[in-house]
Amino acid sequence: MTYPSRVMTIAGSASGGSAGIQADLKTFQELDVYGMSVVTAIVGRHPVTNKNVHPMTIEAIEAQFDTAMKQVGIDSLKTGMLFSKTVIEKVAELLESETIKHIVVDPVMVGKLDSKLLEDEAIEALKEKLIPLAEIITPNMPEASFLLDGREIKSVEDLYQAAEDLYKLGSRYVLVKGGRLDGPAVDVLFDGEVFTEFEAPRIDTVNTSGAGCSYSAAITANLAKEMTVVDAVLQAKNFVTTAIEHGFTYTEAVGPTYHAALRTRGEAHKIKMTQSKK
Ligand code: PXL
């Protein structure tokens, strides 16, 4: 018997099930890896107080990591919503104290419904402590812009420049996701020498809640299976594009992507991939 690879997410709980920990664990299951989680905060809006972020204590975060590490072990790990500087510093310390083959940092900052998922003063800690530990970081356009001191990103050329500049923060790969551009969904991967551009067709839908979480979770699962980074991103983009295509909603709210789509609805997307030297 061979066992599935061991994959961990350190992220926030999104009670509606579309994003955060919930999206990550669904993605892990779809991709046949053993999913584990450390909950950093619970996101859910209280009907009276209006409070929407309920952080866990540092002790609870450390306890979850330690238990999973000792009971199971970790081959590949992603971080999502971390929320505060103290959590980022603790997570960086935990990751440095263990040997984990693959670390994916999704620099989650703002949710689709404008929940603030990272405090302003936490951005420096993300840049200095966590990103240098990553094999790959996966910012979307607003996140890339924040990490580059507010620089505007509004074209495919800007994605290339952002990837090159973010590479200087110390991760081995940078994937800048251009989902918010008009036209096809273009993402740019950079490894310090070679740019790889991935292009998927634009899908006309608002039901994309958790798409970014699911994309980075799929990359994390694929890396656990020892795919190359380029293949891990290519297959993950195929997974998430199919999930977006079959997204749906139960109410008038922006709905989830359909994590089971690639498995149950067949027909994967053709992602165009092109490479160029710096
Ligand atoms: O999609 C970003 C995201 C990540 N993590 C948590 C979230 C959200 C969006 O709402 O709630 C916990």
- Residue 32 CB partners (closer than 8 Å, separation 6+): 4, 221
Q: Which among 79, 115, 206, 244 is the best mutation to test ligand 1's pocket, defined by most ligand atoms within 8 Å of the CB?
A: 115
- What pLDDT band is residue 27 in, cutting at 50, 70 and 90? very high
Measured from the CA of 16, which atom of ligand 1 is nearest?
11
Q: Say how many CA atoms lie within 13 Å of 91 toward its Cβ.
A: 36
Structure tokens that stand for 275 in this block: 């490479």
pLDDT at 113 over 70: no
Helix axes 85-96, 58-71, angle to 10 degrees: 20
The residue whose C-alpha atom lies closest to atom 5 belonging to ligand 1 is 20
Give tens-digit pLDDT for 160-218: 999 999 999 999 999 999 999 999 999 999 999 999 999 999 999 999 999 999 999 99
The span from the CA of 15 to the CA of 20, in Å, is: 9
Number of Cβ within a 10 Å radius of residue 232: 27
Give tens-digit pLDDT for 88-105: 999 999 999 999 999 999
The span from the CA of 179 to the CA of 141, in Å, is: 8
Measured from the CA of 209, which atom of ligand 1 is nearest?
1
Measured from the CA of 115, which atom of ligand 1 is nearest?
10
pLDDT at 111 over 90: no
Q: Are 109 and 137 contacting, i.e. CB atoms less than 8 angstroms apart?
A: no
Task: Provide the whole-model pTM.
Answer: 0.97
Ligand 1 centre to CA of 13 (Å) is 8
Ramachandran assignment for 221, one of left (phi > 0), alpha (psi -120 to 50 degrees), beta (any other): alpha
